[in-house]
A = this chain, B = another copy of it.
Amino acid sequence: MVATTAYDDHFHDECGVFGVFGHSDAAALTALGLHALQHRGQEAAGIVSFDGLQFFSERHIGLVGDRFSKPDVLGRLKGDRTIGHVRYSTAGGAGLRNVQPLFAEFAGGGFAVAHNGNLTNAHKLQIKLRQGGSIFQSTSDTEPIIHLIATSQEKKIVARLTDALSQVEGAYSLIALTEKKLIGVRDPLGVRPLVLGMIDGAPVLTSETCALDIIGADFVRDIEPGEMVVITEDGVESYRPFDPKPSRFCVFEYVYFARPDSMVEGRNVYAVRKQIGAELSREAPADVDLVIPVPDSGTPAAIGFAEASGIPFDLGIVRNHYVGRTFIEPTDAIRHMGVKLKLNPNRLLLEGKRVVLVDDSIVRGTTSKKIVQMVREAGAREVHMRVASPPTRDACYYGVDTPERDQLIASSQTIEEIGSAIGVDSLGFLTIDGLYRALGEAGRNRDVPQFCDACFTGDYPTPLTDRTEKTDNRLRLVEAD
């Protein structure tokens, strides 16, 4: 029903998480935190709370501000400890069954889990678990984790969770709620973010610092790769259940996913993006009259580009925010109107000008082509494009919604070919080393890269078991919601 509009040609982060332990307004704080994380997932949201006796679950399709802003919904989420989740779409497709947090009742008590990331051996685990008698209720890649915990021979929940996670491959930043504990874990490579905050003495775990800001919580520190924190009434304990590995944080979080006002792994995202723009202006200068951002994601890099180059910055393209990222069943007529549903050039400003458009990335190239054409038709004399990241040549399997490789324009075309395909007078991408420089590194360390940059380099930091073993994970049940 709700389809991604074809005019949002981006990778999409799949999830954001938020949990708080020991606060009388736990559910409302979680709703606010998830609202601040809405850019990490707009399809659905869920919150689970525990009041000392029972768990309460509310999971709904739609925006947090629409579905979790009413007093009755928050009122049903009783208790002082909660975890919540927003999701974009997942491995496993839409449907309320797949909305997180997932909940299970083990012999030892209730257990809720919310997960940002993606397992690369989920299907293999599912097959094995099913042979042992486990029954799956969702196609979520989070459910195997729950069954691994349920069938673990360990006694204590922390040991069971460690046992379970030691069998999974891929990227995850997950938070879990039991009757006594709020637990947060990042995978050993730390691909997805997870931070610890504090509000009124109550610990908070969440994906980005912007979710701390909205509730007025203090930022304490990033959870470290491979770290498990266990929060109880006695405080926050830290464990290191996995062998230490060098960190491989997702570099695309800086390029596009994270909110510009977040601090991510010690860096301010807006500052990084401006720095990327500056780096880009040096690597790929343009002799033009105006720097025009492709709004909104290209704006910080465009400001950096303009500042560094001394070329004036102007809002040459106006964005209609009433569309959002999705559009419901557009008619053919509307579909072909295309990018104009969202963007409109400012004709008078562009007329007769040489302009450089700054965008954050190019995925399929289809939208870029339409924007360039639109800007030309509005009267621009020359249209150049500069892209604030390297060419995206490979799909991501770590919790990001990306097209398959063959739909990525950069996987099969040179920069010149892409420039010709989208119709620009010149095209420039940031280099991979330029990207690392903008992040404060001397350049990419080829032997031990400082980040996960697989979408640019094809260098995947974990095995991709389900892809290589081509397991049958046909869905046998089609269910109306």
Residues of A whose CB lies within 8 Å of any CB of B are: 25, 28-29, 31-32, 35-36, 38-39, 42, 54-60, 63-66, 69-71, 73-74, 76, 103-107, 109-110, 127, 130-137, 146-147, 150-152, 210, 213-216, 259-261, 263, 268, 270-271, 296, 299-300, 303, 307, 312-315, 318, 320-324, 327-334, 337, 340-341, 344-349, 475-480
Contact = CB atoms under 8 A, between A and B. Distances in A.
B349 A271 contact: yes
Nearest to A317: B261
Contacts of A215: 337
17 contacts: A59-B479, A59-B480, A65-B341, A69-B330, A105-B476, A106-B130, A135-B150, A213-B345, A214-B340, A214-B341, A259-B344, A261-B345, A261-B346, A270-B315, A270-B346, A270-B348, A271-B348
Contacts of A76: 478, 480
A320 B36 contact: yes
B71 A259 contact: no
Contact of A35 (B71, B263, B341): B341
A477 B50 CA distance: 9
A208 B109 CA distance: 41
A151 B133 contact: yes
Contact of A329 (B39, B69, B110, B270): B69
A55 B337 CA distance: 26
Kindly list the 5 A-B residue pairs having the minimum CB-CB distance in the complex, ordered from nearest: A133-B151, A28-B333, A268-B348, A261-B318, A57-B479
A332 B32 CA distance: 12
A150 B131 CA distance: 8
Contacts of A348: 263, 268, 270-271
A32 B348 CA distance: 22
A244 B106 CA distance: 37
A130 to B, nearest CB: 5
A429 to B, nearest CB: 23
Contacts of A313: 303, 313
A57 B327 CA distance: 23
A38 B319 CA distance: 12
A386 B458 CA distance: 49
Contacts of A323: 35, 65
A63 B55 CA distance: 31
A98 B31 CA distance: 28
A322 B35 contact: yes
A71 B331 contact: yes
Contacts of A131: 107
Nearest to A259: B318
Contact of A69 (B63, B146, B331): B331
A31 B136 contact: no
Nearest to A335: B69
Contacts of A299: 315
Contacts of A136: 104-105
Given A32-B333, A210-B344, 10 more contacts: A35-B320, A59-B479, A135-B150, A214-B340, A259-B344, A260-B315, A270-B346, A270-B349, A300-B315, A322-B324
Contacts of A25: 333
Contacts of A213: 340, 344-345, 347
Contact of A322 (B63, B73, B333, B479): B63
B130 A322 contact: no
Contacts of A260: 315, 318, 346
B328 A69 contact: yes
Nearest to A271: B348
A476 B110 contact: yes
Nearest to A300: B315
Nearest to A306: B313
Contacts of A349: 268, 270-271
